[in-house]
Amino acid sequence: MENAPLTDPFSRAISYLRVSVTDRCDFRCVYCMAEHMQFLPKRDLLSLEELDRLCSSFIALGVRKLRVTGGEPLVRRDIMTFFRAMARHLDSGALSELTVTTNGSQLARFAADLAAVGVRRINVSLDTLDADKFARVTRWGRLAQVMEGIAAAKRAGLRVKINTVALKGFNEDELFRLTDWCAAEGHDLTFIEVMPMGEMEEAERLGQYWALTDLRARLAERHTLLDLTERSGGPARYVRILETGQKIGFITPLSHNFCESCNRVRVTCTGELYMCLGQEDRADLRAVLRASPEDAPLHDAIREAIARKPKGHDFDYSRAHVSGQMSRAMSHTGG
């Protein structure tokens, strides 16, 4: 049983773990968290040693891809200690990929260190190339700092993928500016539908939900789009723009449900395992971690939780109100 692959009730092998290492962030993006956040007490967060043990258990059970998220993961004190610990699984071949999703603010400091431990590609969240709009959507962010970080990542040899949340009335007019900039810089680009999680009021003032079917149709007015069959282990569907050769991804949890191929789970910075981003069911792995130094109970708890992984989520924007809305903020679960 111990060596059996980690498989959910629908015969999906769980090979991808997204782990949040902190709920803290140096931005306050309007669709992610409140401006004046009450962050968790530090005793509630997993220590770096506990994060190591937890992620190593998932890897022992068959996880091949580990994505480090937050909050903003690179603001966690001594975070490179954790990345260096995870690098041993890359060296052994147990882990195929170690990667990170970041807002880019700390990349100028950490890009070379990340590359040195075996990170090969990163995702940078960037919703606009306009400095004033960037300050408005992030509340505390500076675009110049992020652009400097992205340049540092490129110099370090990291492959950069830009993640852009599609926000109606906010970045619709930048569609071609964003795609042209990514083409010129050699970055892949993925558009993400905004998800109904956390405090929505201010995000709603931005206009919020912009269906990617509409965004794609607008792209197709100017470019020739070729559908690609490839998958990156995540939910994105890809096209290639024939005129530029660049790859564009679409993550559409609302207008297109991708649950049938879901191979991932999420662990929060407090050790809660969420089997589905769009469901509230979770397992408290922190209690198991802290109850025993032995890994067997932890492995059992992980298997028991995966046995409850649902077939899909319930997000739906097609009705008069947003159904399936999650009360927790994205910063709690990890991007």
Annotated binding site for GTP: 18, 67, 101, 161, 264-266
What is the spatial distance between Cα 310 and Cα 305, in angstroms, rounded to a whole number? 10
CB atoms within 10 A of CB 39: 15
Specify whether the CB–CB gap between 70 and 334 falls below 8 A. yes
Q: Which residues pair with 216 in a beta bridge?
A: none
Tell me if residue 93 falls in helix, strand or coil: coil
What is the spatial distance between Cα 2 and Cα 298, in angstroms, rounded to a whole number? 12
21 — alpha (psi -120 to 50), left (phi > 0) or beta?
A: alpha
What is the spatial distance between Cα 15 and Cα 302, in angstroms, rounded to a whole number? 13
Residues flagged as binding site for S-adenosyl-L-methionine: 31, 71, 125, 195
| C-alpha triplet 256, 204, 187: angle, nearest 5° | 55
Structure tokens belonging to residue 35: 């401006």
Residues flagged as binding site for [4Fe-4S] cluster: 25, 29, 32, 259, 262, 276
Residues flagged as binding site: 18, 25, 29, 31-32, 67, 71, 101, 125, 161, 195, 259, 262, 264-266, 276
For the chain, the distance separating the N- and C-terminal CA atoms, rounded to the nearest angstrom, is 32
CA-based nearest residue to 63, from 115, 11, 19 = 19
DSSP annotation string for 120-181:
-EEEEE---S-HHHHHHHHSS--HHHHHHHHHHHHHTT-EEEEEEEEBTTTTGGGHHHHHHH
Task: Write down the H helix ranges in the chain.
Answer: 48-60, 79-92, 107-116, 131-138, 143-155, 175-185, 201-205, 212-222, 285-291, 296-306, 330-333
What is the spatial distance between Cα 203 and Cα 33, in angstroms, rounded to a whole number? 10
